[in-house]
Amino acid sequence: MATVVRTEDDVAGKDASSKPLQLPRQIERKLEMRATALRRSRRRVVVLEGNARDDADVVVVADDVEGGELSERLARAEQLRQSLLEERSKRARRLSFENVERARERRARERIKQCFLEAARAARVRLARKRRKSEIEELMRRAAAKNARVHSVRDAVRAKESEERVSREKALACRLRLAERRRGENLRRSPRSPKSAALASRSGGGPRREAAACVLIQRRWREAREVRAARLFAAAVPKWFLARAGAAASGGEDLPTPEGVDRDYLAYKRFEECSAVVRRPSVLRATSCLLQRVAQRGGSPPPGNPAREARTFLAAFMIVLHPEIVMSRKLKAVEEVLQEESSALVRAFLDEVVAERKGNRAEEFEGRLRSHRAAFETWKKDDAAALEGDLIKMARDLTASVLAKCGPDLEARHVTSNPDLRAMVEALGNDRRLLTSKVKSLAGVEGVQRMEEAVRSCVAEFEEEYRRKVSERGRESGGGDGDGADDAVSGAERLECAFRAAMADLIRESVEKGEYDHVLRLWDEVRDRLMRLSGSSPRERERTAQCIDCDYARELVKDRAMDSSILADMMQLASRRIGELGAAAYERETLEWGLLSAQLMRESESAGSVLAQFFQDADVLLTRIEAGIAASLLCQALTSGASKEMAS
């Protein structure tokens, strides 16, 4: 068996196969040493065996033997060299084949790994879509269930109302039949004798007596309605309230104060109890009904503002019960007159409720009511003027603030093209309408005229100041007034357009590169604004968080599974939530906008442009909603302030 010698050339590869075979030096040295030793031993043998021969012949024979052995060795070495060359070529071919197979296996493993990654990504996308679809189906199911409950409740309420209406109609028809029967009986009867009606009808005086009887029945009916309204008022307020008011109006002693309790604190607590009673909606409705019945019975026109008249009447009870808190501890002439009129009105009302219109108490109550109204208006004249001044000042301040941000022309192109400025102008119009209604209810048409004059003067002052500044800027720059104003406006427009274009380019570039960090920050901002609009209700905040799930979007971005379809779903859910939190009149328009944006996101090749436009439109809509909520809060503040003024 041939011995395989490993050399450095065996590892070299294909290029080493073309070089000649070179044995290692150690092997060559060993072969030489072995050959030398063999020659010496043979020569020694030959010399010993051939003593008889000549030294020359022995040497020749030894050289011949040595030459034959050397040729045999060379042949064996050449054969070994050829075998080594063949082994090395086979090994080189085997190594090249193994390298090719190994590279092929590596590429196959990479392809399998890529396929697994694609399959995992597709599975995550399918899972995300399935999750979104299930969430949307759940929301739709909840909405359908809610609508079904609303429809069922509405149908039940309508059925109940129809039943009540039918029962009321039947009762009214029965009462009308009874009234018709009683009216016929009353007409047939006479206050003096049973036969006078027949005699009067024969003598021709029947129609006159029938008209008088109709007037009498109408008067009695109105009086009965007024008595019923007074009873309803007495039933709406607690008994202790009327008892305290009657005792205070009659000059009785105040309630005893327990020992160890501060008198002022006790008076304040009782005042809070009484003010809570007069603020009840049921008490206000009963009072308005009572005053309307009194006006109808007396033939006077109904009150223009029933709520204001009701609060004025209830203020008489508060003045009688707690004069030192409602007015002041040092009573002046106007306060003394108002306190006397309030006490007289409360006594007349309580006498009317107890006596049920015996004698001329009804006329006395009407007279006391008119006197108290006049005294109350005289007393509140200064407060009304101060409140009117505050409202007018508020209108001037709001107008001046909007003019400072938008310029003198609120319908200019740079205002109408900017959604923030346009929303600010719309909010100013809503606030001014609200303030106008408050001033009109407080001071009438004259107050509205004074407020409009103040606003016009504010606008004129701002325009004059604006023209002065523009002219000064024009003189400094060497141009005209109009050129300076146009340059200022065009500069603001260019700055706004450049800012929005830069934001759109940033979103477009980040989406094209597959980097969604800036997009996620914008989604966080939209979610935070919707969270603020959702209020403090946990249910509404949870719905907002479900519609805009930024954490899930970050997971998709981290796994590189974010695509246009998922962004379209997020846009659709966000637009639906914006429509729910906004005004009901714009909900359908907002939903259509969301569906159109989502469809463009799925079909468009430029997803960044569609996404940038969506964020701009969402900013405009959220700004409008926030401006509307600010106007609502202002309305509530003004309403509560006016209520406190009227109650005090």
Closest CA to 383 of 432, 335, 329, 445: 335
Closest CA to 435 of 416, 420, 454, 457: 454
Q: What is the pLDDT of residue 474?
A: 56
Are residues 518 and 627 located together in one domain of the fold? yes
Amino acid occupying residue 31: L
Can you tell me the distance from the alpha carbon of 247 to that of 245, in angstroms, rounded to the nearest whole number?
A: 6
Q: How many domains does the chain have?
A: 4
Q: What is the pLDDT of residue 99?
A: 82
In terms of phi and psi (left: phi > 0; alpha: psi -120 to 50; beta: otherwise), the region of 582 is: beta
Can you tell me the distance from the alpha carbon of 224 to that of 226, in angstroms, rounded to the nearest whole number?
A: 5
In a domain, 507, yes or no: no
Can you tell me the distance from the alpha carbon of 431 to that of 553, in angstroms, rounded to the nearest whole number?
A: 40
In terms of phi and psi (left: phi > 0; alpha: psi -120 to 50; beta: otherwise), the region of 444 is: left
In a domain, 420, yes or no: yes
Name the pLDDT band for 3 (thresholds 50, 70, 90): very low
Buried b (16+ CB within 10 A) or exposed e, 142-169: eeeeeeeeeeeeeeeeeeeeeeeeeeee
Are residues 277 and 352 located together in one domain of the fold? yes
Angle between helices 419-477 and 481-513 (to 10 degrees): 130
Structural domain including 432 reads 388-471
Are residues 532 and 613 located together in one domain of the fold? yes
Q: What is the pLDDT of residue 494?
A: 57
pLDDT over 90, % of the chain: 0
In a domain, 337, yes or no: yes
Domain boundary among 359, 374, 400: 359
Residues making up the chain, counted from first to last? 648
Q: What is the pLDDT of residue 647?
A: 47
Are residues 448 and 547 located together in one domain of the fold? no
3-class secondary structure per residue, 254-322: CCCCCCCCCHHHHHHHHHHHHHHHHCCHHHHHHHHHHHHHHHHHHCCCCCCCHHHHHHHHHHHHHHHHC
Are residues 93 and 175 located together in one domain of the fold? yes
Statement: residue 121 has pLDDT above 60: yes
Q: Dihedral of CA 14/19/24/30: which sign?
A: positive
Are residues 309 and 413 located together in one domain of the fold? no
Closest CA to 14 of 79, 95, 83, 81: 95
Domain boundary among 160, 181, 202: 181
Cβ within 8 Å of residue 368, ≥6 positions away? 341, 344, 345, 348, 349
- Could you give the 3-state DSSP secondary structure of residue 218? helix
Look up residue 340 and give its two tokens.
């006397």
Are residues 244 and 160 located together in one domain of the fold? no
Are residues 285 and 345 located together in one domain of the fold? yes
Q: What is the pLDDT of residue 50?
A: 64
- Which of the listed ranges 11-15, 56-60, 262-266 does the model predict with the highest average pLDDT? 262-266
pLDDT tens track for 131-169: 888 889 888 888 888 888 888 888 888 888 888 888 888
Lowest mean pLDDT among 200-209, 215-224, 239-248, 540-549: 200-209
Can you tell me the distance from the alpha carbon of 350 to that of 365, in angstroms, rounded to the nearest whole number?
A: 10
Name the pLDDT band for 481 (thresholds 50, 70, 90): very low
Instruction: Give the CA diameter of the chain.
Output: 208
Q: What is the pLDDT of residue 633?
A: 53
**CB distance 267 to 325 below 8 Å:** yes
**CB distance 270 to 325 below 8 Å:** no
In a domain, 72, yes or no: no
Can you tell me the distance from the alpha carbon of 145 to that of 167, in angstroms, rounded to the nearest whole number?
A: 32
pLDDT over 70, % of the chain: 72
Look up residue 43 and give its two tokens.
């020569």
- Could you give the 3-state DSSP secondary structure of residue 404? helix
Can you tell me the distance from the alpha carbon of 258 to that of 591, in angstroms, rounded to the nearest whole number?
A: 64
Look up residue 93 and give its two tokens.
């071919």
Are residues 532 and 466 located together in one domain of the fold? no
Are residues 133 and 94 located together in one domain of the fold? yes
pLDDT tens track for 240-281: 887 888 888 777 655 666 666 667 777 778 888 888 888 888
In a domain, 19, yes or no: no
**CB distance 372 to 341 below 8 Å:** yes
Can you tell me the distance from the alpha carbon of 530 to that of 544, in angstroms, rounded to the nearest whole number?
A: 7
Domain boundary among 410, 444, 471: 471
In a domain, 47, yes or no: no
Q: Which stretches of 424-473 are assigned E, i.e. beta strand?
A: none
Closest CA to 303 of 30, 312, 521, 324: 312
Return mean pLDDT, the chain. Answer: 74
Residue 115 exposed, middle or buried by CB count within 10 Å (0-12, 13-18, 19+)? exposed
Are residues 355 and 395 located together in one domain of the fold? no
φ, ψ for residue 360 (rounded to 5)? Answer: -105, 30
- The H-or-E segment that residue 162 falls in is helix 55-188
Mean pLDDT of 77-94: 83
Query: CA separation (Å) from 578 to 137, 159, 412, 531?
Result: 19, 35, 28, 11
Are residues 633 and 537 located together in one domain of the fold? yes
Which is higher by pLDDT, 90 or 304?
Answer: 90
Whole-prediction pTM: 0.36
Name the pLDDT band for 358 (thresholds 50, 70, 90): very low
**CB distance 521 to 611 below 8 Å:** no
**CB distance 307 to 284 below 8 Å:** yes
Statement: residue 611 has pLDDT above 80: yes
In a domain, 408, yes or no: yes
In a domain, 296, yes or no: yes
